């Protein structure tokens, strides 16, 4: 799945990368309407929307409901509990390393060709000065 520029910006410049590091782990998400969800985070996007599986939803009255899959919109999240066994700094660093840009080899080859053509053009114009 391809992320938008804004989503990538949020992932790289906010603590959303920590939430993305929770993918595959069980945690509790407190909601703004006094309910909470406990389950496994399957996917977190750059806007902090969550897709969870194996979920237990507890509403404000204490009633429990089980779901195989559950979507939590970012605006409904009040708090996400970070598991105690998880190192926050290490998780953030790992996520940032995954997001680091790498230069594509094709792009390097193109720039070498451009430099070579530029050098040839200068030799044609000014002649070989050696």
Tell me, what CATH number does 69's domain have?
Answer: 2.30.30.100
Asked, for residue 130, whether it belongs to a domain, the answer is: no
Which token pair is 99?
């997001």
Asked, for residue 107, whether it belongs to a domain, the answer is: no
Q: Domain range for residue 58?
A: 5-102
Residues in Cβ contact with 12 at an 8 Å cutoff, skipping those fewer than 6 apart: 96, 99
Asked, for residue 110, whether it belongs to a domain, the answer is: no
Count of domains for the chain: 1
Instruction: Tell me the pLDDT tens digit for each residue of 66-122.
Output: 999 999 999 999 999 999 998 999 998 888 888 876 545 555 555 777 788 878 888
Whether the full predicted model's pTM is greater than 0.75, yes or no, is: no
Asked, for residue 122, whether it belongs to a domain, the answer is: no
Asked, for residue 127, whether it belongs to a domain, the answer is: no
């Amino acid at each position: 799945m391809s992320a938008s520029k804004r989503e990538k910006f949020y992932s790289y410049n906010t603590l959303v990368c920590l939430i993305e590091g929770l993918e595959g782990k069980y945690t509790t998400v407190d909601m703004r309407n006094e309910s909470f969800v406990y389950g496994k985070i399957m996917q977190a996007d750059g806007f902090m929307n969550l897709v969870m599986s194996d979920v237990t939803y507890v509403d404000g009255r204490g009633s429990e409901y089980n779901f195989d899959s559950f979507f939590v919109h970012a605006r409904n999240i009040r708090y996400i509990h970070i598991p105690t066994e998880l190192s926050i700094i290490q998780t953030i660093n790992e996520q940032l390393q995954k997001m680091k840009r790498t230069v594509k080899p094709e792009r390097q080859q193109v720039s070498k060709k451009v430099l070579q053509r530029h050098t040839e053009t200068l030799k044609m114009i000014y002649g070989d000065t050696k």
